[in-house]
Structure 1
Amino acid sequence: MPFTLTDSARDQVREMMKEEENDVRLRFGIQGGGCSGLSYSLGFDDEINEDLDLTEDINGIPVVIFKQDIPIIEGTKIDFKQNMMGGGFAIDNPNAIVNCGCGSSFRAKDKEGTPEKC
């Protein structure tokens, strides 16, 4: 299992999936950008490429992951936190060696990405 979803994150994803018209999976991965070079990508997808994607069930949620991203997200924990200002997903990636102040951009030991100005 490349990453984990807490029960809180699972419950939030389930609620969000109910609003989708198609049969979708949660897609988690990385993309270039952000002030540290890499950014997380978290959304829904109804398309799977058998050659490029890994599909799994993580804590009861159907998930799709771009195979190339697995070494960089391996061991990551995704949580959902609610506070008086609202709620949001929190991502704790043990492979991140540098994090941006916003928390959504990072750099990994083996992949720097393409930093952008904040």
Structure 2
Amino acid sequence: MTQTLDPTTARPIGISEAGAQRALSVIGSSGKENAGVRLFIKSGGCSGYQYGMAIDDRELEGDTVLFDRGVKLIVDRMSLPLVQGAEIDYIENMMGGGFTVNNPNATSACGCGHSFRTDGAEAQAGEGSSGCGSH
């Protein structure tokens, strides 16, 4: 069973205006009805954890689902504590554009911006490991 949170009372994650515009565009062209952005964490990367994002039309047991700026955001139970209070953003620069996660729980981050570490949190053993070059 999924739980749906009212973003006015609880905002475990959010999305910026630029992130929302880009996400809605990607979701619209995905062909998936009722899809949203799934933010998840996996162990690996040069700092311990890696962010992952996908367009997903499934809601799994234990997922937290909320809407921000018209975008459905989905986070699984294991990832939620690591991204509590984070904001998904979309940035454009000379190297191109891409989604990024502004995470208040990250105490350090890799230069590539795809991996991070938290105070006292260890990555789960056996879930894979990769360096910055393999995001």
User: With structure 2 as the length reference, what TM-score do the two structures score?
Assistant: 0.78
User: Which 4+ stretches in 1 moved above 4 angstroms?
Assistant: none
Look up the match of 2:15: 5
The answer to whether residue 101 in structure 2 is matched with residue 91 in structure 1 is yes
The structural deviation recorded for 1:26 is 0.9
Counterpart of 2:88 (choices 63, 71, 78) is 78
The structural deviation recorded for 1:20 is 0.9
Q: Report the number of matched residues.
A: 117
Question: Matches of 2:69 and 2:40 in 1, distance apart?
Answer: 17
The structural deviation recorded for 1:117 is 3.8
Q: Unpaired runs of 5+ in structure 1?
A: none
Residue identity matched to 2:53: L
Moved more, 60-69 or 77-86: 77-86
The answer to whether residue 8 in structure 2 is matched with residue 30 in structure 1 is no
Secondary structure at the counterpart of residue 55 of structure 2: strand
Counterpart of 2:57 (choices 43, 46, 55) is 46
The structural deviation recorded for 1:22 is 1.7
The structural deviation recorded for 1:110 is 4.1
Residue identity matched to 2:69: N
Q: Unpaired runs of 5+ in structure 2?
A: 1-10
- 2:46–2:131 Cα contact (<8 Å) kept: yes
Identity %: 32
Residue identity matched to 1:101: G
- 1:6–1:77 Cα contact (<8 Å) kept: yes
The structure whose residues are more often strand, as a share, is: 1
Indicate the structure whose relative CO is greater, using CA pairs within 8 Å and at least 6 residues apart.
1
User: With structure 1 as the length reference, what TM-score do the two structures score?
Assistant: 0.89
